[in-house]
């Protein structure tokens, strides 16, 4: 494949730290620390950032730009894997450790030997498993589930969290001791609304990517109004949202210019009469036929599901309602693309 290139070589070219867009000072700072530690695989890294700010991308860049790029990069989403399974996924198990554990299985920490384990959404790991992980990272060895023999590992651990870390510690979903352990190097990815200088370079990057992908005319420029529009937006979905807005615009544009008509930013047309202002406030002007409360509810549920990657348990938490209530509303509004079992959607 790829003319004889291995997948790892392909990733090595696709995920280069130096290529990450970083014009704004806070992102430059992140990048300069990342470049310093890229070849210090013994240093744990904690990535903090809202959804869509680039945590996955940065984790891959840290791995594929390091001298260990040809070793395994093993990502695991702690929010998407049922509790009982997560432990044996991470640490492996011995035969007969639990019903159904037939043979011996290596855990991801072992499989990633010499490479990187990327523990995504780490605060969703149970506290007892966090304790086991803490012990493993301190001693660089662990027991497989049901095992009595110590297993050594030498993978770098990169953990990511997408919520406020102090909140997670205060509400006891994240152990303070594990936080200090993983926090050797903390990289905080700023939200896009704080990266105004990066908007244009990112937009240009995505225009090029999307023109190639969709075989469109090479779009040369964004009109002045489009830039204004992009700058005013709050970008709740961060870089992922920008990428999607640009993709849609590239597909819709009929000339070599992208105009405001091609730009559809969700929050701007939240619902007739409801807008989000530049400062992030919600502005409501009732049209003559009013606004149905249900419309607002549906939008909020859709947003929560997006933010939770379709994991219903998460979305329910974000909305302060029970899973049953959420399921009922999803049916009521005929929403799709969600996953009741909590597997992360594509
Ligand atoms: N610096 C960057 N340059 C170019 N593209 C980027 C950059 N950072 C992120 N992206 C793109 O933005 C999108 C979202 O990034 P990513 O998946 O890494 O975010 P995330 O923080 O892991 O999100 P989530 O919390 O939802 O998992 C991806 O399409 C990625 O390719
Ligand atoms: Mg991610």
Spans in the chain with pLDDT lower than 70: 1-4, 266-272, 275-281, 336-346
pLDDT at 276: 61
Q: Does domain 193-284 have CATH number 1.10.8.60?
A: yes
- Asked if residue 175 has its Cβ within 6 Å of ligand 1, the reply is no
- Asked if residue 55 has its Cβ within 6 Å of ligand 1, the reply is yes
- Asked if residue 49 has its Cβ within 6 Å of ligand 1, the reply is yes
Q: Please tell me whether residue 11 adopts helix, strand or coil conformation.
A: helix
Pocket probe mutation, ligand 1, options 11, 26, 30, 57, max atoms within 8 Å of Cβ = 57
CA–CA gap between residue 188 and residue 161 (Å, rounded) = 10
- Asked if residue 162 has its Cβ within 6 Å of ligand 1, the reply is yes
- The pocket of ion ligand 2, defined by CB under 5 A, consists of 55-56
pLDDT at 100: 80
- Asked if residue 77 has its Cβ within 6 Å of ligand 1, the reply is no
pLDDT at 333: 81
- Asked if residue 314 has its Cβ within 6 Å of ligand 1, the reply is no
User: Ligand 1 centre and the CA of 85: distance in Å?
Assistant: 27
CA–CA gap between residue 169 and residue 338 (Å, rounded) = 28
Contact 153, 108 (CB under 8 A): no
Phi and psi, residue 261, nearest 5°? -65, -25
How big is the chain, counted in residues? 346
Query: What DSSP string runs through 91-131?
Result: HEE-TTSSTT--S-EE-HHHHTTTSEEEEETGGGS-HHHHH
Q: Which two tokens stand for residue 251?
A: 């597909």
Q: Quickly list H helices, the chain.
A: 7-14, 25-37, 55-64, 83-91, 108-111, 127-139, 165-170, 176-182, 196-214, 224-232, 238-252, 293-307, 312-318, 323-332
Nearest CA to 233 out of 206, 208, 209, 203 is that of 203
Residues of the chain with CATH 1.10.8.60: 193-284
Q: Quickly list H helices, 165-270.
A: 165-170, 176-182, 196-214, 224-232, 238-252
User: Could you tell me which CATH number the domain at 293-332 has?
Assistant: 1.10.10
User: Ligand 1 centre and the CA of 216: distance in Å?
Assistant: 23
Name the CATH superfamily housing domain 2-190. P-loop containing nucleotide triphosphate hydrolases (3.40.50.300)
Residues of the chain with CATH 3.40.50.300: 2-190
pLDDT at 275: 67
Pocket probe mutation, ligand 1, options 28, 56, 194, max atoms within 8 Å of Cβ = 56
User: Ligand 1 centre and the CA of 123: distance in Å?
Assistant: 19
CA–CA gap between residue 95 and residue 151 (Å, rounded) = 15
pLDDT at 277: 60
- Asked if residue 76 has its Cβ within 6 Å of ligand 1, the reply is no
CA–CA gap between residue 275 and residue 272 (Å, rounded) = 8
Residues of the chain with CATH 1.10.10: 293-332
pLDDT tens digits, one per residue of 249-300 = 998 888 888 888 888 775 545 566 776 665 666 778 787 778 888 878 887 8
User: Looking up tokens 């990342």, which residue turns up?
Assistant: 34
């Amino acid at each position: 494949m790829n003319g004889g290139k291995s997948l790892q070589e392909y990733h090595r070219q696709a995920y280069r730290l130096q290529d990450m867009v970083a014009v704004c000072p806070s992102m430059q700072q992140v990048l300069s620390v990342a470049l310093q530690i890229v070849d210090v695989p013994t240093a744990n890294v904690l990535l903090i950032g809202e959804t869509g700010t680039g945590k996955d991308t940065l984790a891959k860049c840290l791995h594929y730009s390091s001298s260990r790029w040809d070793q395994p990069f093993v990502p695991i989403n702690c929010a998407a894997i049922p509790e009982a399974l997560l432990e044996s996924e991470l640490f492996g198990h011995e035969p007969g450790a639990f019903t159904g554990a037939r043979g011996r299985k290596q855990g991801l920490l072992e499989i990633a030997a010499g490479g990187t384990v990327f523990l995504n959404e780490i605060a969703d790991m149970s506290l007892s498993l966090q304790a086991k992980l803490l012990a493993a990272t301190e001693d660089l060895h662990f027991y497989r589930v049901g095992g009595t023999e110590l297993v050594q590992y030498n993978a770098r651990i990169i953990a990511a969290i997408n919520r406020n870390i102090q909140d997670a510690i205060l509400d006891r979903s994240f152990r303070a001791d594990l936080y200090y352990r993983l926090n050797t190097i903390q990289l905080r990815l700023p939200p896009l609304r704080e990266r105004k200088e990066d908007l244009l370079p990112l937009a240009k990057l995505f225009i090029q990517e999307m023109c190639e992908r969709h075989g469109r005319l090479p779009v040369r420029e964004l009109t002045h109004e489009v830039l204004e529009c992009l700058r005013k937006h709050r970008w709740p979905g961060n870089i992922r949202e920008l990428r999607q807005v640009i993709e849609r615009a590239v597909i819709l544009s009929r000339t070599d210019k992208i105009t405001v008509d091609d730009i559809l930013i969700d929050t701007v047309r939240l619902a007739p009469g409801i807008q989000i202002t530049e400062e992030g406030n919600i502005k409501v002007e009732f049209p003559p036929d009013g606004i149905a409360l249900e419309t607002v509810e549906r939008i909020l549920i859709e947003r929560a599901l997006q933010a939770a990657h379709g994991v219903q348990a998460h979305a329910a938490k974000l909305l302060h309602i029970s899973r049953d209530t959420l399921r009922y509303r999803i049916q009521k509004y005929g929403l799709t693309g969600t996953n009741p079992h909590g597997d992360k959607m594509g």
